[in-house]
C-alpha cells in the first residue's frame, strides 16, 4: 500500500523513524523483523547473519551487545488463525547503525542506509561543532565585559590609569605561574599584537573569567582603596584559582595550546547553516 506523501509505505522506502517504537520505560527501539525488508533482506537467516556481525562489532567497540540487541519473541498469526512466535530483536539506534555497516553493501537498501547514518552522524558532528563555537564566542563576550567591569572596580580601588597594565598583568602572573601577558603569548607562540583572550579556548576563558569576577568581588568586599593592595589582591586571586585547578588535576593554563582566533570562529558561525533534520532526498532511506 502507498501513501500520497513522501514517506511511502512500500518496501525499502519505509521511514526509519516511522519504524521506531517505544517500550514501557520510554526507551526507543526498532524491531529487527520490521527493519529486515527495509534493508533488502528477504530471508531472516541472511539478515540474522548481519545482526551477528553487528553484535560482534558492538562488542569490539567496547559496548555490551545485550544493551543494544535484546532478544524478543514476535507473535505472528497465520491466515488460518494459528499464532507462532518467531525470533526477533529489539534494536537500539546504535544497533541499527551497526547492522547497516555490517550488511551486504551490494544491496541498494544497505548502501542507502549506510549513507543515511553517515550523513546523520556528520550532521550531528556539525551541530556539536557549532554548539562549541557558540559557547566559546559567548564566553569570550562575557570575559570582555568582565574585563571592563574589573577595570572599573580597579579604578574605584585607587588604581591609576597608567598602572592598569601592571594591575591586569598581576592577575595573569598569579594564574599563570608568574607569567605576564607578553610572556604567555611568547610561550604559546601567539602574535604579540593579538589579544590574549582571543586565543583562549573555553576552559582557559572560564578560568580567567573566574579570576576576574572573584577579584572584583574581593576589591569590593574588602573595601580596598589602595593601588598596591589592589594589585596584590589581583595576583592573590590568580594564585588561588591556579591552586584550585591544580587540586582537581586540571591543566595549568600556560600549558593549554592556543585556540583558533575568535574572529575566525565568529566568521564561521555566520556562514554555517547546519541542517538538523536529515532530508529523505539526501539518504534515499527515509527521514
Q: Which three cell numbers stand for residue 198?
A: 582571543
Nearest alpha-carbon partner for 286 in 9, 2, 13: 13
In whole angstroms, what is the distance from residue 236 CA to residue 171 CA? 8
Give per-residue pLDDT as tens, 218-240.
999 999 999 999 999 999 999 99
In whole angstroms, what is the distance from residue 135 CA to residue 205 CA? 11
Residue 100 pLDDT greater than 80, yes or no: yes
pLDDT above 70: percentage of residues in the chain: 85
- Spatial contact of 106 and 125, defined as CB atoms under 8 Å apart: no
Q: Residue 62 burial (CB < 10 Å; 0-12/13-18/19+)? A: exposed
Give the pLDDT score at 270. 82
Give per-residue pLDDT as tens, 147-187.
999 999 999 999 999 999 999 999 999 999 999 999 999 99
Q: Which residue has the higher pLDDT, 221 or 113?
A: 221
- Spatial contact of 153 and 162, defined as CB atoms under 8 Å apart: no
In whole angstroms, what is the distance from residue 119 CA to residue 115 CA? 6
In whole angstroms, what is the distance from residue 73 CA to residue 86 CA? 6
Give the pLDDT score at 148. 96
Nearest alpha-carbon partner for 96 in 163, 34, 189: 34
Q: Which residue has the higher pLDDT, 144 or 16?
A: 144
Give per-residue pLDDT as tens, 182-203.
999 999 999 999 999 999 999 9
Find the mean pLDDT for residues 104-131: 82
Find the mean pLDDT for residues 125-142: 88
Q: Which three cell numbers stand for residue 66?
A: 545485550
Residue 145 pLDDT greater than 50, yes or no: yes
In whole angstroms, what is the distance from residue 69 CA to residue 51 CA? 9
Q: Which three cell numbers stand for residue 123?
A: 550532521
Local confidence band at 87 (pLDDT 50, 70, 90 cut-offs): confident
Mean pLDDT for the chain? 85
In whole angstroms, what is the distance from residue 167 CA to residue 232 CA? 8
Find the mean pLDDT for residues 16-41: 88
- Taking the CB of residue 108, how many other CB atoms lie within 10 A of it? 11
pTM, entire model: 0.60
Give the pLDDT score at 12. 43
pLDDT above 90: percentage of residues in the chain: 57
Local confidence band at 278 (pLDDT 50, 70, 90 cut-offs): very low
For CA atoms 43, 108, 68, 20, give the dihedral sign: negative
Q: Where are the domains of the chain?
A: 17-104, 128-271
Give the pLDDT score at 254. 97
Give the pLDDT score at 136. 94
Give the pLDDT score at 230. 97
Residue 7 pLDDT greater than 50, yes or no: no
Amino acid at each position: 500500500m502507498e501513501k500520497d506523501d513522501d514517506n511511502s509505505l512500500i518496501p525499502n522506502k519505509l521511514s526509519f523513524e516511522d519504524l521506531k517504537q517505544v517500550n514501557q520505560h520510554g526507551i526507543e527501539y526498532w524491531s529487527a523483523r520490521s527493519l529486515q525488508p527495509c534493508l533488502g533482506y528477504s530471508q531472516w537467516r541472511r539478515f540474522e547473519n548481519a545482526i551477528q556481525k553487528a553484535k560482534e562489532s558492538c562488542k569490539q567497540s567496547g559496548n555490551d551487545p545485550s544493551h543494544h540487541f535484546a532478544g524478543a519473541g514476535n507473535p505472528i498469526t497465520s491466515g488460518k488463525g494459528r499464532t507462532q512466535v518467531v525470533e526477533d530483536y529489539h534494536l537500539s539506534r546504535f544497533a541499527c547503525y551497526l547492522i547497516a555497516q555490517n550488511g551486504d553493501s551490494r544491496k541498494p537498501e544497505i548502501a542507502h542506509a549506510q549513507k543515511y547514518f553517515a550523513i546523520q552522524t556528520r550532521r550531528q558532528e556539525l551541530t556539536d561543532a557549532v554548539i562549541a563555537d557558540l559557547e566559546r564566542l559567548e564566553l569570550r563576550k562575557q570575559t570582555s565585559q568582565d574585563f571592563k567591569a574589573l577595570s572599573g572596580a580597579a579604578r574605584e580601588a585607587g588604581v591609576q590609569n597608567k598602572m592598569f597594565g601592571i594591575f591586569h598583568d598581576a592577575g595573569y602572573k598569579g594564574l599563570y605561574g608568574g607569567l605576564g601577558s607578553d610572556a604567555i603569548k611568547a610561550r604559546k607562540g601567539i602574535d604579540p599584537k593579538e589579544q590574549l583572550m582571543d586565543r583562549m579556548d573555553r576552559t582557559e576563558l572560564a578560568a580567567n573569567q573566574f579570576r576576574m569576577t572573584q577579584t572584583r568581588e574581593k576589591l569590593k568586599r574588602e573595601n580596598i582603596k589602595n593601588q598596591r593592595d589592589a594589585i596584590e589582591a589581583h595576583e592573590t586571586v590568580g594564585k588561588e584559582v591556579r591552586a584550585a585547578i591544580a587540586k582537581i588535576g586540571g591543566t595549568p593554563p600556560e600549558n593549554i595550546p592556543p585556540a583558533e582566533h575568535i574572529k575566525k570562529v565568529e566568521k564561521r558561525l555566520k556562514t554555517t547553516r547546519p541542517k538538523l533534520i536529515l532530508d529523505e532526498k539526501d539518504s534515499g532511506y527515509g527521514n
